[in-house]
Amino acid sequence: MKRRQLKLLSILSILVLMILAACGSTDEDSSDSDSGKTKEDIKFLSMLTGGTQGTYYPLGGTFADLITTETGVKTTAEVSQASAANMTALQEGEGNIAFVQTDIAYYGTEGIMMFEGKKTDAVSALGALYPETVQLVTLADSGITSFEDLKGKKVSVGAPGSGTYANAEQLLEIHGLSMEDIEAQSLDFGESTDGIQSGQIDAAFITAGYPTGAVEALNATNKVSIISVSDEKADALIEKYPYYAKDTIPAGTYGIKGETPTVSVLAMLAVNKDLSEDLVYKITKAIYGNTDKISHAKGEFIKAETALDGIGIEVHPGAKKYFDEVNK
């Protein structure tokens, strides 16, 4: 009898151990499955833009709506400090999609300029958008008619962490100036135009698609002037920094009679590399497959066939898959 009981206990013990082992295996499998689901079953996406009075924010709102509608993943456009800060945020997992300038994206992935020792190797490209025009804004009666006139003046060179700062520094350099030759102010677009209007600053660098909301608001109360970049200086800039291109602000923009020659870089979208190929494919399709639904003036420049032009960093496989399909 005792022998039988011992045998029964032994069998029960083995069964219990087998059940526990199976449970452990199930938990482990579930953990693996859950870790995979973080990439595939994302319910919310954060799109980093720029200041509310630039071009990134309103355009980002449109993109966020398209992504939400087309993919079912709730996407929100968020105010940010723009290009350089957006690259850092993507690197640190504090955003999923971001507007950046092509030059800043290149600096980040190479770990140079403002990213020295802080390479953004967790970021890849989704696609190019439109030209971002470098606009040196002042008032028509300021007495500033050239870059050389900026010497000793209070000039906004962009918000901390923005690509505008790099553009300002490089354009000053080409004109024989440096940040030490001006009283540099780190302001966003809205603060810049408010400062010009109140007389707190004399001029501001604003890198954004024209017409820029902040400059339009300033022109509503004061006659503005955009300082031109000559062909000679543009050529010198492009020779040293080949990601620039010549650009022209059309006559009538901000009420200015003639055309204003200047330079531009490209705006682009970047994403965190950890997003799955399938999700990025759907995001790319949601934007570039619905350009007819983009009411912003810059919508006319956003095309699948030119989306890889000027991109100097690795393109996410999901975006590449979409562009390969539509451009074959």
The answer to whether domain 43-129+267-326 has CATH 3.40.50.11540 is no
Q: Which ranges constitute the DSSP H helices of the chain? A: 2-40, 56-71, 83-91, 102-110, 163-174, 189-198, 213-219, 231-240, 277-288, 317-326
Q: For residue 40, what pLDDT is reported?
A: 52
Phi, psi of 220, rounded to the nearest 5 degrees? -70, -25
Instruction: Note whether 133 and 226 are within 8 A (CB).
Output: no
Among all chains, which residue has been given the structure tokens 């965190």? Answer: 272
Which tens digits make up the pLDDT trace of 68-79?
A: 999 999 999 999
Q: For residue 317, what pLDDT is reported?
A: 98
Q: How many residues does the chain have?
A: 328
* First CA to last CA distance, the chain: 81
Phi, psi of 256, rounded to the nearest 5 degrees? -80, 130
Which tens digits make up the pLDDT trace of 144-177?
A: 999 999 999 999 998 766 789 999 999 999 999 9
Flag whether pLDDT at 18 surpasses 70. no
Q: For residue 107, what pLDDT is reported?
A: 93
Closest CA to 196 of 156, 251, 236: 156
The answer to whether domain 132-265 has CATH 3.40.190.10 is yes
What is the phi-psi region of residue 213: left when phi exceeds 0, alpha when psi lies from -120 to 50, beta otherwise? alpha
Pairing status of strand 97-101 against strand 44-48: parallel
Instruction: Note whether 96 and 280 are within 8 A (CB).
Output: no
Phi, psi of 221, rounded to the nearest 5 degrees? -120, -20
Token pair in block for residue 289: 């497959």
Please report, for the chain, the start and end positions of each structural domain, with discontinuous segments joined by +: 43-129+267-326, 132-265
More confident: 211 or 134: 134
What is the phi-psi region of residue 131: left when phi exceeds 0, alpha when psi lies from -120 to 50, beta otherwise? beta
Token pair in block for residue 31: 């953990």
Flag whether pLDDT at 8 surpasses 60. no
Write the CA distances from 54 to 21, 171, 191, 306, integer angstroms: 58, 20, 11, 23
Q: For residue 282, what pLDDT is reported?
A: 98
Q: Facing residues of 76 across strands?
A: 46
Which tens digits make up the pLDDT trace of 211-247?
A: 898 999 999 999 999 999 999 999 999 998 888 889 9
Rounded to a whole number of angstroms, the CA Rg of the chain reads 26
DSSP at 316: P
Q: For residue 312, what pLDDT is reported?
A: 87
Closest CA to 268 of 319, 308, 241: 308
Which tens digits make up the pLDDT trace of 253-312?
A: 999 999 999 999 999 999 999 999 999 999 999 999 999 999 998 999 999 999 998 898
Same fold, 43-129+267-326 and 132-265: yes
Say how far apart CA 125 and CA 278 lie, in whole Å.
Answer: 15
pTM to 2 decimals? 0.76
Closest CA to 63 of 47, 52, 39: 47
The dihedral sign for the CA sequence 112, 118, 123, 128: negative
